[in-house]
Amino acid sequence: IVLALDDPVKRVQMAAAVCQYAMRTPNARDRDILQSTLKQGADSWVAAQCLAIDGDTSQAVIQRLLSQHFLRDAPSDHEQSMMLLSNISSKTTLVRSLLAEELNSANWRTRVQACTSIKILELLFMQDLCNKLIYMMWNDWSCAVCHAAALALSKMDAAREMHNTSEGLDSGPTAWRVEALIFIGQLNIMTPKLLPTFLRCFNDDFVAVRKQACLTAASLMMDDQLVLDQLINLMQNDPLWEVKVEAIDALGKIGWMNPALQELLMWAVHHEEEPSVRIAACKALNTLDAKGPELQHFLQDRYALEPNADVQRRVELLCTKHIITQKVLLMEERGKQQEQKLLC
């Protein structure tokens, strides 16, 4: 193999050098061959991998790994390139700098992939990169890029930087406020500075903002009493049934339950005019695992009196669930009694 390193055929030299790296016995001649191949040649991707595995963190190696990563017709190489770039990024900031350049690409798909790569690599917080991602999150013409930038920020400990974006919830057009709520949910952050502005969104004049506030509260699993009070208020008093449904769904997803909320959900199943609201209340009662003999009697009555077939099916499912639960509890109780008799 060592003799093949000086073979007149370049491909033979390359194959010999790769063998040396595979056997973990590389020498200076091997590196020269791979570095030469890296600059030009069909085997540059193989050369970059070998050099990266050997600990080479040069710009030429990183650029070749990135160029392979951004090739859309080579998806099988993405995982390998990300693994190598992840190792290199812990030793040099060059990966971050070169990825930041890709954020300026004219191709929106490249910008999305750059954001996704930053998220996967979980790069340490860097002010310049954070500022760029925040700008893209709010201003890029592509929604896909905006969302990808928001997700990348969520991995960069950028919550403190998001304070500056809270104005998006307080001013600007409706679409801007909705986008701000979406991004807050994607970033999975809620700070003391953001909370008061966020709470005002539940009382916004525009339906889209109120609905998105409910969705964001559910996404963040916000069991803060101030947020729960806003959701309960919308569930009871919003003039539009669509908002009531989102508020009820959010309460169910958050997973918070007490006797007062159970009563309100039962009231909604009984009295709300819109079937979709009654269905949402049934779903929430099921998700929140509501219990009690009063609920069982209520459900049996509603099943007999419910005029809407879809709502009736939901009530029937709840009735069946409670009957099965009662039977299981009864069987467990009888089992305990039998054990006690045997012990006596």
Q: What is the pLDDT along the chain (344 residues), one digit of tens a residue?
A: 677 777 788 888 888 888 888 888 888 888 888 888 888 767 889 999 999 998 899 999 999 999 888 886 777 788 889 899 988 988 888 898 899 899 999 999 999 999 999 888 866 667 788 888 888 887 889 988 988 888 888 777 655 555 555 656 666 678 878 888 888 887 777 777 788 889 999 999 999 999 999 999 999 999 999 999 999 999 999 999 999 999 999 999 999 899 999 999 999 999 999 999 999 999 999 899 888 778 888 888 888 888 899 998 888 888 776 554 454 445 556 666 666 766 66
Query: Tell me, what's the pLDDT at 329?
Result: 46
Phi, psi angle pair for 128, to nearest 5°? -65, -40
- Could you give the CA distance from residue 212 to residue 175 in angstroms, rounded to a whole number? 11
pTM above 0.85, yes or no: no
Q: Tokens 């039962």 belong to which residue?
A: 266
Query: Tell me, what's the pLDDT at 343?
Result: 66
Query: Tell me, what's the pLDDT at 323?
Result: 52
Fold designation for 160-256: Leucine-rich Repeat Variant (1.25.10)
- State which amino acid sits at residue 191: T
Which whole-number Å values give the CA distances from 30 to 5, 56, 88, in the listed order? Answer: 7, 13, 21
CA Rg value for the chain: 30
In 3-state terms, what secondary structure has residue 222?
Answer: coil
Q: Domains of the chain: which residue ranges?
A: 160-256, 260-344
- State which amino acid sits at residue 230: Q
CA atoms within 13 A on the CB side of 247: 30
Is the CB of residue 270 less than 8 Å from the CB of residue 251? no
